[in-house]
Chain A
């Protein structure tokens, strides 16, 4: 007796569901660890008066977008163009 295709598809969906459930359980445990780290991050922000995330360290306007002007990328010399790769990911800060 051959298995009907809908059943094969249901089994495939079931396997994907198991994978999603495993990822969800793992996310719960990661969230607990993150909560501990968050306390450290809050203390650091407060005690050092930090204003920005240290994701990109190549250009001052993507290292500290919150305290940079929108014109900062073009300040190197008259007619300067924005040339750092991270400039493609970050939008200019609103002012």
Chain B
């Protein structure tokens, strides 16, 4: 009996494939459009998932508490004496001052992220040199020496030179010598980064002595982050207190389907399905009615005709799903999501080499199936039933 059923289904599959091949131009068009929609959705899902994963992995090491001062809704510098006001808070292990800001290079129209700090005071500061492609981090006595990101080096186009200058706010030039270079592999964090001593950053941005932009606070017990953050807020009401869990949470929600681009991907998919479902549900062509009538006259049952339509839908949607998701994976991994780069990086002049490697979990695949294949199968059920119940004489007699 089982053998008979398998043979029957195989014959129906043969018929469904022949039927698709007979209408190959139409079938191929549906398959390609369907695969393109899945490609778009899957690419977006893979890019956002790979970026979120990367953020989750690396931002687990971000400072436990970051303090910044806000005034009139904008970040501004604050005196180093704020550090003294944290002395009384039990549980703080270390406080490291930092100057952090953006430098707009008017020649190259690029934004650099400038950080001035004494890296020797930071956790893992002694291992920092091992993460560089070449050179070493400047110590806090080494004035005028910087470590720069790969894209900055490329953008500055220094040739064989290792020196360059940046403008202070009063347009006087501040010379720098390149002390080291971040690796291209770490572009996702260091692409536009320029690290120098605290005094150099203060000089470059013309920040008065004794002023900083951030304090990185490290606590003895990570379970006490929230409690200590609350105590800091009480002691320094004017500062914004950002905790490591808040920063990590940002990257778990900052890439999502509710973003403008995500919504466009979803709406495009939805529009494609509405058109497809409309086409399927709007009625049968005379050729289809004739085909069904002939099959019924030949002795095919309604259930057999439904099986043919089911196999056709499974073949088209299954193939489109495999092709679309494979193409999306190749697009993200081998082409660094090049189609999304105009939106992902916008008008950025410095663009990192994205080495994205999405790990597709069963949940992600199910999400894409739920958005694509299942609606397609559902959209073909009613038309399939309608087509299967066409009376043979009405089709042939007409």
Contacts and interface: CB of A to CB of B under 8 A. Distances in A.
B73 A71 contact: yes
Interface string B180-216: 0011011111111101000000000000000000101
A87 to B, nearest CB: 7
Interface string B129-152: 011000000000000000001000
A47 interface: yes
A16 to B, nearest CB: 6
B77 interface: no
Given A37-B185, A89-B343, A31 B357 contact: yes
B266 interface: no
Interface residues on B, range: 35 or more
A34 B96 CA distance: 30
B343 to A, nearest CB: 5
A60 B192 CA distance: 12
Contacts of B14: 4-6
B189 A50 contact: yes
B348 interface: yes
A34 B355 contact: yes
Contacts of B345: 55-58, 86
Nearest to B147: A48
B211 to A, nearest CB: 18
A48 B115 contact: yes
B187 to A, nearest CB: 7
Given A20-B326, A23-B329, A63-B111, A53 B54 contact: yes
A19 interface: yes
A48 B195 CA distance: 9
A65 B247 CA distance: 9
Given A57-B350, A91-B254, A50 B62 contact: yes
Contacts of B18: 5
B256 interface: yes
Contact of A57 (B13, B111, B322): B111
Nearest to B133: A40
A9 B115 CA distance: 58
Nearest to B352: A54
A91 B17 contact: no
Given A49-B214, A53-B58, A89-B262, 4 more contacts: A6-B17, A8-B17, A41-B57, A86-B348
28 contacts: A4-B10, A4-B14, A6-B13, A9-B315, A20-B326, A30-B357, A41-B58, A42-B60, A44-B58, A44-B128, A45-B59, A45-B60, A46-B122, A47-B125, A48-B195, A49-B66, A51-B63, A53-B188, A53-B251, A56-B344, A58-B348, A58-B349, A59-B346, A60-B102, A66-B242, A67-B242, A85-B347, A88-B261
Query: 10 shortest A-B CB distances, which residue pairs?
Result: A85-B346, A88-B260, A5-B17, A46-B124, A86-B346, A45-B61, A46-B61, A54-B191, A66-B247, A40-B131
